[in-house]
């Protein structure tokens, strides 16, 4: 297969108000034959440069109504235009430009980049197969300073970790989910709803939180809440890249450290992941 | 000289509410003699490990009331404790954890990382000299989709750039300013006020913006507004790393592109910088 | 599943001569049940900290005879020690320290880091399944300044790329291959032989090179040469991340540019990949 | 001031043999007036795009005989062509392409990227001042597995570091030196000689090494050897970014670790630097 990446900005105006989408689009293609590899026969090969042009022409003609719709449009174009294409996948990722506000007033043409979780989506299709749409969020960094522990784990002669019932829970979240049959979904609205579910399941109620017995259980809580609240989601994958913090032992410096000063642990660096599907 | 960097988390509670500061502290020291370099005599050398311990002990004892106060405390400690220290500089940078909100309600112990401009400060002192405090913001990415141009520049046989009166203005801002005599400043409040000035000077009024004839003039507008609105600032340095966007020529694809599709230009990559002081 | 990464140095001496291996080891585990996710029951969970200890104890006891043997030892340990482990995969990557030479004389204890292609390997096993070993090289950057073209590709109304019969071929290579039944392989020797095959197939004969009609054909040539020369390789995957260079048009600067000045193209960024197995 | 960066490839042939230089050039300019900042008057501004064109035209016309000569040519061009330029500095850095060898035979047109220390240079000039040339090496990673210690340092109540007489010495070197009056220097030859001095001073004799009592003394040894062996060097700056390795305590795992397994310490991360001039 071959893939390529292109990054661009799409502007549009409604009256005097400006709207901006900056996206990175990566298109994977697999052709019916492999003659370009085996024989050096390029007659079926669609050059990177042509793929770039197609993505830009579609952006110019249709705009980017939502990341998901744009990815669907690109897949459809390749499947219907090129009979030598066996499989196409389009990944679209957004640069998180947000409208600037001055004293609460939105600015008509100024934006600030706020990378608190990056939105992405994927559309993929095999010839004669259904078009499947995924969406997700990545690089979302979250922390709970209490209501987290890790106890009752398996122990043997190589175990040195003490049990803890009040540790820091901190990590970088990656979530990706698939939609079933994509009818007339409001992709922007659903994505925002799912993001709220993720934050709620991670943090628990604002006044007291909710105890997490492990990174793994927190992963599962996020999946369960999304599946229960958002009916369009069929399968959800969550990966949590953990950052561990150790309470620094300050005894040899003559001090008692009551979980006030903590040091991030670079290694071992762990992550846990789970994929859960609706029955 | 020698320097070292340490990263840690400082937690504290008020009732059941948790507060978190994660900082990276870099301490530079220059000693009175250079005998450790010239003769391999280490008797004046303060090991990296000891510097780390001092920073952590100060964080444990005093907390981090503000980045600036913490940097001042560290400088003072080194100057008063070690007579072999000739010069000390402390740089403190914050990981931008923000309290999580659920439906507008702040969470008592959950946080999200929102890197829309990183706050930092510096305190430095020579033996027998004054303690000087700097503060700043970096990695602040801003964009204006109109009200920007670049015309009337110098031209000769190597000029190929056309004049433009409606281009994209986009860049990554670095601002650093010095305070005069630091009395009882409310460093957090001043920093927030300066950040607002920067955004206002970059964007102009929310309903119409303000025309920028160059990156350089925008840099100057930011400096002028900060100096006029924030009396504690003595000198302000601004660096703007430009991202250029080219309107894609789509004529050979049979389309007219009216500043709708733009491509970021990786090279040449430019930046402009200026330092301005109060008279 | 869960995974974690640990980085460390393993030293050993033969007489006065020192040998060093610095490796990054990532271990993936999948357990028989998912009760830690679903029920928050941690009784089967092997903490990250324990995994780290096991890797370090094995390095201490056995050393790192080769990356592959070390990965095999780790897999075996987890499978035989923990009956709750369903699947284990160990990835080992080397920091490319090379012995320093002074005027051709090897130094007994000094090393320099030379990252011209990073060696890695993987061992994986399902309970009751065979142990499979992979090895590979990544981040290997190569360039041919001639003997490369791209012609006869598919064309339609979105094609703007001209045909070229003398372009630059430049890219970053990733190769990964699997061994069949691992008997008493000399993994270091085989790896070096495969690296030579890759370079030879990419570059062609030293005095004249060999024409490449596409990135895809070069990928295939590498695979074919490795499979024909190294009988231990069963399957080989090659990914070539292309860097395109455009001959700069200098006509408007009054100059003819005969492939003398070229500019790297940041986007579109392409890559091609293929997996080939022995019949 | 303003600066900009451009990256490109310069090819040339001697008979059928190809030669390649890929460089990144960064040009800083300061103009006589600051009217573009203060008044938005662009009439003296030399656009980034023009600077790029000049660099590329010079590369096309003169080639890149050495990095230093190319930087000198660029400085001279700006000073003699633009009377509004007050100061110019040109930084040139090389992508470390090396000719590929097959069984010891050099290939006529194939290259491999070997980043074991990056070569760079700088030329700078103020109007009416001399042209000064610097050269250097960066990102050079070196390690000694013995013949290094750190003892006799300053101690107080915050000291926890034990004295060590046999530790690992590992770091990333940055060296930058200035030449005096640049007559007809063979810059390539001098640079290679200095690189050899750096390695020799770091490592000591190949059969036994030389004891280093601190990172600082190693920095000084490098400077002293370069100044004594290379008469063209006037001033030399060395920065050594240390990577510390701790011998892992394996007592609680029932093992004695005789400096066999070591863990890199991420923080505190230290560096030491010194600038030394010929008397």
Q: What is the DSSP string of D222-266?
A: HHHHHHHH-TTEEEEEEEEEE-EEEEP--GGGT---SS-EEEEE-
Which chains touch B (3+ CB pairs under 8 A)?
A, C, D
Residue of D nearest to A157 (CA): D253
Task: Give the other-Cβ count within 10 Å of D126's Cβ.
Answer: 15
Assigned superfamily of D140-277: Urate Oxidase; (3.10.270.10)
D116 belongs to an annotated ligand binding site: no
Task: Give the other-Cβ count within 10 Å of B138's Cβ.
Answer: 15
Which 3 state secondary structure label does DSSP give A271? strand
Q: Mind giving me the DSSP string for A197-259?
A: HHHHHHH--TTT---BS-HHHHHHHHHHHHHHH-TTEEEEEEEEEE-EEEEP--GGGT---SS
Structure tokens that stand for D128 in this block:
């009416």
Helices then strands, each counted (H, E), chain B = 5, 12
> Phi and psi of D223, rounded to 5°?
-60, -45
- Cα A220 to Cα A238: distance, rounded to the nearest angstrom: 8
Tens digit of each residue's pLDDT (9 = 90 or more) over A161-215? 999 999 999 999 999 999 977 778 999 999 999 999 999 999 999 999 999 999 9
Is A120:A94 a contact under the CB 8 Å cutoff?
yes
Minimum-distance CB partner of D253 among A158, A254, A267 = A158
A243 belongs to an annotated ligand binding site: no
C136–chain D nearest CA distance, Å: 17
Are B18 and A145 within 8 A, CB to CB? yes
Are C115 and D116 within 8 A, CB to CB? yes
Tens digit of each residue's pLDDT (9 = 90 or more) over C133-160? 999 999 999 999 999 999 999 999 999 9
Q: Taking Cα atoms as reference points, which of D87, D75, D90 lies closest to residue D135? A: D90
pLDDT tens, residue order, chain D (279 aa): 778 899 999 999 999 999 999 999 999 999 998 898 999 999 999 999 999 999 999 999 999 999 999 999 999 999 999 999 999 999 999 999 999 999 999 999 999 999 999 999 999 999 999 999 999 999 999 999 999 999 999 999 999 999 999 999 999 999 999 997 777 899 999 999 999 999 999 999 999 999 999 999 999 999 999 999 999 999 999 999 999 999 999 999 999 999 999 999 877 778 899 999 988
B242 belongs to an annotated ligand binding site: yes
Are B2 and D273 within 8 A, CB to CB? yes
Q: Taking Cα atoms as reference points, which of C204, C206, C169 lies closest to residue D107? A: C206
Which chains touch C (3+ CB pairs under 8 A)?
A, B, D
B150 belongs to an annotated ligand binding site: yes
Residue of C nearest to D13 (CA): C260
CB-CB neighbors (< 8 A) of D82 in chain B? 154
- Cα A25 to Cα B146: distance, rounded to the nearest angstrom: 25
Q: What are the C-alpha distances in Å from B263 to residues A111, A185, B267, B269? A: 17, 30, 12, 14
pLDDT of amino acid C180: 74
Whether B262 has a pLDDT exceeding 90, the answer reads yes
Q: Taking Cα atoms as reference points, which of B241, B118, B226, B247 lies closest to residue B179? A: B226
Which 3 state secondary structure label does DSSP give D139? strand
- Cα C25 to Cα C73: distance, rounded to the nearest angstrom: 12
Minimum-distance CB partner of C160 among B160, B252, B263 = B252
Tens digit of each residue's pLDDT (9 = 90 or more) over C93-109? 999 999 999 999 999 99
Residues above pLDDT 70, as percent of chain C: 100
Helix (H) or strand (E) holding D76: helix D67-81
Are A267 and D263 within 8 A, CB to CB? yes
CB-CB neighbors (< 8 A) of A154 in chain C? 42-47, 50, 82, 84
Instruction: Count Cα neighbours of A2 within 13 Å in the Cβ-side half-sphere.
Output: 26
Helix (H) or strand (E) holding B201: helix B187-203
| Residue C240 neighbours by CB under 8 Å, 6+ apart | C171, C172, C173, C174, C215, C218, C219, C271, C272, C273
Q: What is the 3-state secondary structure (H, E, C) of chain C?
A: CEEEEEEEEEEEEECCEEEEEEEEEEEEEEECCCHHHHCCCCCCCCCHHHHHHHHHHHHHHHCCCCHHHHHHHHHHHHHHHCCCEEEEEEEEEEECEEEEEECCEEEEEEEEECCCCEEEEEEEEECCCCCEEEEEEEEEEEEECCCECECCCCCCCCCCCCCECCCCEEEEEEEEEEECCCCCCCHHHHHHHHHHHHHHHHHCCCCCCCCECCHHHHHHHHHHHHHHHCCCEEEEEEEEEECEEEECCCHHHCCCCCCCEEEEECCCEEEEEEEEECC
- Cα A197 to Cα A191: distance, rounded to the nearest angstrom: 10
Q: What is the dihedral of CA A21, A22, A24, A25, to 10 degrees?
A: 40
- Give D145's DSSP letter: S
Minimum-distance CB partner of D44 among B44, B150, B154 = B154
Q: Which ipTM was obtained for this model?
A: 0.96
- A2-129 and A140-277, same CATH topology: yes
Which chains touch A (3+ CB pairs under 8 A)?
B, C, D
pLDDT of amino acid D180: 74
Q: Which residues of B150-187 are buried (b: 16+ CB within 10 A; e: fewer)?
A: beebeeeebbeeeeeeebbbbbbbbbbbbbeebeebeb
Structure tokens that stand for A65 in this block:
């109504």
pLDDT band at A1 (very low <50, low <70, confident <90, very high): confident
- Cα B154 to Cα A253: distance, rounded to the nearest angstrom: 63
Is A120:A43 a contact under the CB 8 Å cutoff?
no
Predicted TM-score (pTM) of the model is 0.96
D242 belongs to an annotated ligand binding site: yes
Are C109 and D56 within 8 A, CB to CB? no
- Cα A48 to Cα A123: distance, rounded to the nearest angstrom: 19
- Cα B198 to Cα B178: distance, rounded to the nearest angstrom: 16
Minimum-distance CB partner of C261 among D10, D253, D260 = D10
A48 belongs to an annotated ligand binding site: yes
Mutation target to probe the D interface, by most D beta carbons within 10 A, among C61, C103, C145, C259 is: C145
Fold entry, domain D2-129: Urate Oxidase (3.10.270)
Which chains touch D (3+ CB pairs under 8 A)?
A, B, C
- Cα A82 to Cα A27: distance, rounded to the nearest angstrom: 14
- Cα B29 to Cα B45: distance, rounded to the nearest angstrom: 10
Structure tokens that stand for B40 in this block:
């391999």
B275–chain A nearest CA distance, Å: 24
Mutation target to probe the D interface, by most D beta carbons within 10 A, among C206, C221, C258 is: C206
pLDDT band at A3 (very low <50, low <70, confident <90, very high): confident
Mutation target to probe the C interface, by most C beta carbons within 10 A, among A268, A273, A275, A276 is: A268
Tens digit of each residue's pLDDT (9 = 90 or more) over C30-87? 999 889 899 999 999 999 999 999 999 999 999 999 999 999 999 999 999 999 999 9
Chain centre to alpha carbon of residue C268 = 24
Are A267 and D267 within 8 A, CB to CB? no
Is B31:B83 a contact under the CB 8 Å cutoff?
no
> Do the bridges between strand D244-247 and strand D261-265 make them parallel or antiparallel, or are there none, so unpaired?
antiparallel
Are C158 and B253 within 8 A, CB to CB? yes
Say which range, A10-24, B104-118, C171-185, has the weakest mean pLDDT.
Answer: C171-185
Numbered residues of chain A with Cβ closer than 8 Å to any chain D Cβ: 157-158, 160, 252-254, 263, 266-267
B184–chain A nearest CA distance, Å: 26
pLDDT band at C110 (very low <50, low <70, confident <90, very high): very high
A115–chain C nearest CA distance, Å: 22
Q: In chain B, what are the domain boundaries?
A: 2-129, 140-277
B148–chain A nearest CA distance, Å: 11
């Amino acid at each position: 297969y071959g893939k390529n990446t292109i990054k661009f900005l799409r502007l549009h105006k409604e009256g005097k108000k400006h709207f901006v989408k900056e996206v990175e689009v990566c298109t994977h293609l697999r052709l019916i034959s492999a003659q370009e590899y085996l024989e050096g026969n390029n007659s079926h090969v669609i050059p990177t440069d042509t793929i770039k042009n197609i993505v830009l022409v579609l952006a110019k003609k249709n705009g980017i109504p939502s990341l998901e719709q744009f990815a669907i449009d690109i897949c459809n174009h390749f499947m219907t235009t090129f009979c030598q294409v066996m499989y196409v996948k389009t990944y679209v990722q957004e640069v998180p430009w947000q409208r600037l506000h001055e004293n609460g007033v939105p600015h008509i043409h100024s934006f600030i980049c706020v990378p608190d979780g990056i939105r992405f989506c994927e559309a993929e299709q095999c010839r004669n197969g259904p078009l499947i749409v995924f969406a997700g969020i990545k690089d979302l960094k979250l922390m709970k300073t209490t209501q987290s522990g890790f106890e009752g784990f398996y122990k043997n002669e190589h175990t040195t970790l003490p049990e803890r019932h009040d540790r820091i829970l901190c990590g970088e979240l990656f979530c990706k989910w698939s939609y079933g049959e994509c009818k007339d979904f409001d992709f922007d609205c659903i994505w925002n709803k799912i993001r709220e579910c993720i934050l709620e399941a991670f943090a628990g109620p604002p006044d007291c939180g909710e105890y997490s017995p492990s990174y793994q259980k927190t992963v599962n809580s996020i999946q369960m809440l999304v599946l229960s609240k958002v009916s369009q989601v069929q399968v959800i994958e969550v990966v949590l890249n953990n950052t561990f913090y150790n309470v620094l032992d300050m005894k040899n410096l003559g001090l008692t450290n009551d979980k006030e000063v903590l040091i991030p642990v670079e290694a071992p660096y762990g992550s846990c992941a789970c994929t859960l599907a609706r029955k």
